[in-house]
Structure formats: structure tokens, C-alpha cells
């Protein structure tokens, strides 16, 4: 669970990201969850775009993805969702949070 300072820090990083995945009219399927999980393991912070033809809102998709992926929703603005999950992989550079003063 992220605190407000961590969420704000990650949100700032997420603004600069390009979406790595698009959710379309089929919504979330099993293959989508698996692919997003793999990308989260490799990057820890990702941006997902929800197409206009999707029958669910971006907030509904964000809640479902966070639940299915055991991730935190960093932000959900318009049709863009930013998700974070700490990776267990040791071969990547992990995101470090600024120290609290």
C-alpha cells in the first residue's frame, strides 16, 4: 500500500511514460492480465490506456487491474491508468522512493 507521498512521486514519474498497453472493447481478459503482469515485473511502473470503445470506465478497469495484478493504482486520469507493483526480480533496477525528511 502506497502512502500519499509515494503515490505523488510515482504519479510524477508516470506522467512521462507512454502507454504500454491498450484496453479495448473486450475489456480485461486472461491474456491481458498475464501480459500486464510480465510488464510490471520488468518495469514496476506502467501506464495503460483505455480506448473509448471499451464498455467499462477507466476507473473500473483500474480497480479490476489493481485487484487482479496485486498492484497499486497510482493515478487514473481521463483514459490513462498508472499502475505500480514492486518486482521480485533481482536483475532489474528497482524504483527507489525519496527519503522522508
For the chain, the structural domain boundaries read 4-84
Residues 4-49: pLDDT tens digits? 999 999 999 999 999 999 999 888 887 889 999 999 999 999 999 9
Q: Residue 97's pLDDT is what?
A: 87
Q: Residue 101's pLDDT is what?
A: 58
Residues contacting 100, CB < 8 A, separation 6+: 5
Domain spanning 4-84: CATH 3.30.110.60: yes
Cα separation of 84 and 64, whole Å? 14
Residue 61 clears pLDDT 70, i.e. is over it: yes
pTM: 0.92
Burial 50-82 (b: 16+ CB within 10 A, else e): beeebeeebeebbeebbeebebbbbbbeebbbb
- CB distance 83 to 54 below 8 Å: no
Q: Residue 100's pLDDT is what?
A: 66
Phi, psi values for residue 5, rounded to 5°:
-70, -40
Amino acid at each position: 500500500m502506497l502512502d500519499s507521498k509515494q503515490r505523488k512521486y510515482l504519479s510524477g514519474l508516470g506522467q512521462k511514460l507512454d502507454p504500454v498497453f491498450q484496453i479495448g472493447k473486450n475489456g480485461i481478459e486472461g491474456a491481458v492480465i498475464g501480459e500486464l503482469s510480465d510488464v510490471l515485473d520488468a518495469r514496476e511502473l506502467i501506464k495503460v490506456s483505455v480506448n473509448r470503445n471499451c464498455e467499462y470506465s477507466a476507473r473500473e478497469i483500474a480497480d479490476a487491474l489493481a485487484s487482479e495484478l496485486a498492484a497499486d493504482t497510482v493515478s487514473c486520469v481521463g483514459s490513462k491508468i498508472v499502475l505500480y507493483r514492486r518486482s521480485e526480480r533481482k536483475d532489474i533496477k528497482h524504483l527507489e522512493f525519496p527519503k522522508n525528511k
